Chain A
Amino acid sequence: DTGVSQNPRHKITKRGQNVTFRCDPISEHNRLYWYRQTLGQGPEFLTYFQNEAQLEKSRLLSDRFSAERPKGSFSTLEIQRTEQGDSAMYLCASSKGGQGAPEAFFGQGTRLTVV
């Protein structure tokens, strides 16, 4: 399977705990994005990497959120001291960038539930 892969698919955690999600993009894609989706809304942009450089972060990304993409391959999104409001679907996407087709391809997401 050469699509975007996200792990885990589901995560239930207690409020105050830290969680980390992983995303493996399509191998030839140098752009990687994290989005968050809550019920009844479209996905909302969180952050973007071009290779290993994090080039943009949304105001939605509080200090408790951190993302990395070491060596420009897989990426991790960590949420520290989780709150109930962090419960959402976290989506990762990748795209080729440059002059190529603009569409981004999404993984199946990680559903986070904070109890």
Chain B
Amino acid sequence: DQQVKQNSPSLSVQEGRISILNCDYTNSMFDYFLWYKKYPAEGPTFLISISSIKDKNEDGRFTVFLNKSAKHLSLHIVPSQPGDSAVYFCAVLTGTASKLTFGTGTRLQVTL
């Protein structure tokens, strides 16, 4: 069973525009939601997280939105830059468990 789903395998956005990456989850008991960015041949890099008690968290160009009723998470990148081109993974963490469960990723390409 796939607890975290990223239904868009790829996304192409023009430089300077907004990138919106989406993630759906199945378990309402998840406590934390995180986004990681991954370049080829490197490990995932932590970007931003949000607790289940919040609905928005912002860090510079990155904003994560949480819609608990829809079990939906999104990452907004504004403005998008060519260096943002990477694979983005959403991940969930429960308070009682200690592991992250990842989605399958969305490849973002920011074009000039």
| Contact of A91 with B44 in the complex, beta carbons under 8 Å | yes
A85 on the B face (CB < 8 A): no
Q: Residues of B contacting A101 with CB < 8 Å?
A: 49
Chain B interface, >50% SS class = strand
* Contact string against B for A residues 36-60, beta-carbon threshold 8 Å, 1 for contact and 0 otherwise: 0000111111001010000110000
CB distance from A50 to the nearest CB of B (A): 7
Interface range on chain B: under 10, 10 to 19, 20 to 34, or 35 or more?
Answer: 20 to 34
* Contact string against B for A residues 13-36, beta-carbon threshold 8 Å, 1 for contact and 0 otherwise: 000000000000000000101010
Knowing A42-B91, A42-B103, say if A109 contacts B43 (CB, 8 Å): yes
Q: Kindly state the separation between the CA atoms of A103 and B36 in the bound complex, as whole angstroms.
A: 10
Q: Kindly state the separation between the CA atoms of A55 and B105 in the bound complex, as whole angstroms.
A: 27
Knowing A50-B98, A56-B98, say if A104 contacts B46 (CB, 8 Å): yes
B41 on the A face (CB < 8 A): yes
Q: Which residues of A contact B (CB under 8 A)?
A: 4, 6, 31, 33, 35, 40-45, 48, 50, 55-56, 91, 93, 97, 101-109, 111
